Every structure is written in C-alpha cells, then in structure tokens.
Amino acid sequence: MAEMCLGCGLCCDGTAFDSTALEAGDDPGPLQQLHAVFVADKDSTRFEQPCPAFSSGCCSVYASRPLACRSYSCALLLAVDEGEVELDDARSIIATAIASRDRVRPALLALVPSPTLAALDAIVFGIARPAVRVLATQSIQGLLASARAHLGSLDDPAAQLVEHASVLAEADALLELLATRFGIGRWPDSQVSA
C-alpha cells in the first residue's frame, strides 16, 4: 500500500465506491472469510464496500487483494507519484476529505429511515439489499441520491430541501473534492458506481 494511502482508504471504506468488481484470477476466499457481501449480475461479481478487509487504515488482505485493488490509483496518488503534488499537501487534502466524510455520512444516514432507504436503493440502483447492509454500504453519492429522493417524496419537498440544505451542500462539496482532487467522478444516479 502506498505510504500516503495508509490512513486514507477513501477508495475502500465506502466513501468513493459502493462496490468493487472481481476479475478472472481473483481469489474471493480471503474476503469471504471476512464476510464480505458479494453481488452478482450477468456481467460481473462485485463485493460491497465498506470492504471488511479495510482495518485500522490499511488492507488486511493486502497480499491477496483483488486485481482491481492492485491496479487502482486515484488521481491524487498519481499526482504525488509524478511530483505534481507534495506529499504533505496530499495528506492535507485527504484529511479534509475524511473530516467531511465523518460529518456527511452520519448526517445523510439520519435523513432517511432505513426501510425507506432500502426501498429507494432498489429503485435508484436496481439492487435489492437488506436495509442493514444498505445503511452500511452506500457511497456518499449513493446516500446523497437516496436522501434527495426521500426528501422529494415528503410533503412540501422544497421546504425539506431548504431545511437540509447545509448537509446536502457539504455532501456535494465532498463529491466535488473527490472528483477534482481524487479523480473519482460522479456517475448518473441510475447506475451503480465503482
């Protein structure tokens, strides 16, 4: 794991991605032993994030991590490797993102009751998952889409959006930070990310 990734894990902890695809040659065994949740469709098998192997800021199955994990580097990591961004500056950006994540995730979760979130998840993402998993696994973008959909379904949705404007704005700002500094772009609300 790259030095600057230690203590970050935004690409493992469910902040940036909902899930990660397994590829041919991957051994799912270590993740299965940690009770990772696998979702299969006709094109791929994915394991949901937050990844259960992410522990204390690093990957506990590093030697046998999937190919997608081995090959992934966010834009910030690449920029440091290329000498375009100083390591200390990158760490400061990561700290900002993590602090925002720690405010935004619980605030978004508090906006949507879990049974509603499960139902919305099935509509927005086309995947039916138990509410307890949905609560744990949606990315910030997924949570924001679900929160907006839920607020829009309530009486006087315009007033609801105004009341919760600060939470929604910080979530948007975090997504913008992920897009501009980490290269983790937004995806259409109708699609699963990662």
- Rounded least distance, CB 167 to ligand SF4, Å: 23
Q: How far is the CB of 182 from ligand SF4 (least distance, A)?
A: 5
Task: Spell out the long-range contacts of 55-58 with Cβ–Cβ below 8 A and sequence spacing 24 or more.
Answer: 57/6, 57/7, 57/8, 57/9, 58/1, 58/5, 58/6, 58/7, 58/9
- Provide the binding-site residues for ligand SF4, judged by CB under 6 A: 2, 4-5, 8-12, 20, 51, 53-54, 59, 61, 65-66, 69, 73-74, 76-77, 182
d(CA 98, CA 82) in angstroms, rounded, equals 23
Q: Which is nearer to ligand SF4, 66 or 142 (CB)?
A: 66
SS3 31: helix
Q: Is the CB of 54 or the CB of 125 nearer to ligand SF4?
A: 54
CA–CA gap between residue 125 and residue 159 (Å, rounded): 26
Name which of 148 and 181 has its Cβ closer to ligand SF4: 181
Q: To the nearest whole angstrom, how small is the minimum distance from the Cβ of residue 94 to ligand SF4?
A: 6
Q: Closer CB to ligand SF4, residue 140 or residue 151? A: 140
